Amino acid sequence: MNQLFNFKKSALFWLVLFTVLFASAVMLFAKDSSVQTATNSINNPTYIPINDMLVSSLNFGDALVDAARERIYISSWFQYVTVANIDQAIVEKSLTNVYRPNKMGLNPDGSRLYVASDVITEDGRITVIDTNTFNIVATHVYTNSIGTPYFNNIHSMAINSANVVYFAPSGDFSHHLVEVMDGTTGEILATIPLTNTVVSLALHDTKLFVVHASDTGNTELRRYDISGILPIFETSVPTRIGEAGELAFAPDGTFLLMRSRTGNVYQYDPQSLTETAAYIASSIYGFAWTSITPDSNAILNLFYPNGYYAPGGLYLFDQATHETIRQYEDQGDVSQAHAAFAFDNNRAAIVYDDRIRIFKEADYGVALPIILNKVCYSPIHDEFGDPSSGWPIADTGSVIYRYLQNEYNIFHRDKNQWAAATRGDQWFAGTQLVQIDGRVAAGTGIWGLLFGLNNDWSNFMTFEIQPENQTWAVYHYTSSNGWTLNASGSSSAIKSSGSNTLSLKDASSQQLLINGVMVHSFYPAILGRVGVTGGSFSSNADFRYDNYIFSAEGCPLQPLSTANKVTEQIFTVPLPEK
């Protein structure tokens, strides 16, 4: 067992990175001054894609973020609401029981999601969802107080900490009002009449902001005191002609943004309502979405560098200096971009028709290969007869990853190498079993299961055996601390030759089994991607894997060549001589 521990604890990681080159610039102007952004190159601050998670956002309705819980909520018009966890890169839930979902809103602590229905010739409806359990806790029906509810959807919504909902219904298309609803009972508490069309709402603490516009393009920004039941008008200012748009408040309340329908973004002081900056894209498409970082220090804008149906791009601005911090233009086979959000730890995400692409900030345009996740994870039974089932095929010079004679093969030309491969399958709440048969076909070494893998190989765990001496070990690796031995032991259940079966099984705790015998467990289960590992004690060490099983509840069986196929990911570590 000591041999296994010493073999890994001194490992130094080095990753093969590839370069992503970016191009094209957009002219941006801060108020009373201009800033020319630089063209993306190897030396420019940019973003690098680190993960793709497949979702269906066709018929995109709305998207919003809960940065504290690292979630994005996406409504697909008339269909369902997708709950995506950015940290784990998984779809936590697909809410199919919400009636014709479209516009959405969150209360400040993120515990209640309000989903407005897009309805025709019937009363409007708001569904209230508990975001801890994903249960529907209330359904509120409202009528439009200004006319026949011919097209009674909601085009803007804001919720305060007391779960009072402020919303602008479309009604009979005149929509010159804001309704105030008790989010618990559904009672309409007040109505704010306006002379022009309500465009957008935003609130922070006890202040509600409303932007409305006339048919001639005159736009007004209003502020109300909402500390009591009845909103009290405080002040208003005209904004730029024809520049009405979506409002967004900084998390700390220090500034307010309005992204106009022309694609320009304007920054306002919430006290004086004066415009403090303008972010104007020279692209005819303008900025398509605006998000603010959780620390309120920067503004993230989505834009279309090559048209609405091409990959999106990102611009990050310093909200204090209004200068460009970094920029990025997406590449690859992606569909239309709809929304973009900023997260802690310098990450961002773009919502496409078919996926959410996750990024991290980088000062140079280099990145690990993207890991592609899936909406539905199971069940999978891979006998490795189909080379398109999603496992990596590569030859790094020292290590070969391949399908070979109806098995998967990791072959080390050199000794003292450790390697891992994954399809990208994710252990998440509801996963029941991950299992693999394996054997050492030539040479000597260790092999096993990879689990708990995060986005960039900086944190993962391994469950491995050394068959020849019937020992096993569980290791935890972090980029900051290196290898840590979590548990180890010997077991007569391990066959010293031939094939062994390793399993991760969920039975209230995450059990680690060798040939059906449990040797260790974790509670709660360790979430993250899973895969296979192999480490060589000799040159020409040959590891073979067969009968890969991944089973989770709630997913129909699908062919390996379709929904279950994911982008390959490999990781190779050279080790010092023993």
pLDDT tens column, 209-228: 999 888 777 889 999 999 99
- Rounded mean pLDDT, 513-528: 90
Nearest Cα to Cα of residue 181 among 157, 204, 197: 157
- What letter does residue 151 receive in the DSSP assignment? B
Residue 70, SS3 per DSSP: coil
CB of 169 within 8 A of CB of 142? Answer: yes
Domains, in order of start, for the chain: 2-12+374-574 (2.60.120.560), 18-57+251-367 (2.40.128), 98-250 (2.130.10.10)
C-alpha 311/C-alpha 504 separation (Å) is 38
**Strand ranges inside 444-539, DSSP E:** 445-453, 459-466, 471-478, 482-490, 500-506, 510-514, 517-522, 528-536
Q: What is the pLDDT of residues 83-138, one digit of tens each?
A: 998 887 778 888 989 988 999 999 999 999 999 988 776 778 999 999 999 999 99
- Rounded mean pLDDT, 390-412: 89
pLDDT at 483 over 90: no
Which ranges of 324-397 would DSSP assign to H, the alpha helix? Answer: none
Which ranges of 224-296 would DSSP assign to H, the alpha helix? Answer: none
Mean pLDDT of the chain: 80
Say which range, 191-195, 459-463, 517-521, has the weakest mean pLDDT: 191-195
Which pLDDT score, from 0 to 100, does residue 12 have?
27
pLDDT at 286 over 80: yes
Q: What is the pLDDT of residues 137-189, one digit of tens each?
A: 999 998 765 555 545 678 899 999 999 999 988 754 457 889 999 999 999 99
Q: What is the pLDDT of residues 535-557, one digit of tens each?
A: 999 999 999 999 998 886 544 43
Which ranges of 261-349 would DSSP assign to H, the alpha helix? Answer: none
Say which range, 59-63, 404-408, 573-577, has the weakest mean pLDDT: 573-577
Q: What angle do CA 132, 138, 139 make, to 5 degrees?
A: 130
Global model pTM greater than 0.75: no
The reply to whether omega before 379 is within 30° of 0 (cis) is: yes
- Rounded mean pLDDT, 321-333: 84
C-alpha 146/C-alpha 169 separation (Å) is 10
- What letter does residue 201 receive in the DSSP assignment? E
C-alpha 374/C-alpha 293 separation (Å) is 27
Which pLDDT score, from 0 to 100, does residue 24 have?
26
pLDDT at 285 over 70: yes
CB of 201 within 8 A of CB of 209? Answer: yes
| Tokens 């920029």, located at residue | 327
Which pLDDT score, from 0 to 100, does residue 267 have?
95
Specify the higher pLDDT residue, 344 or 152. Answer: 344
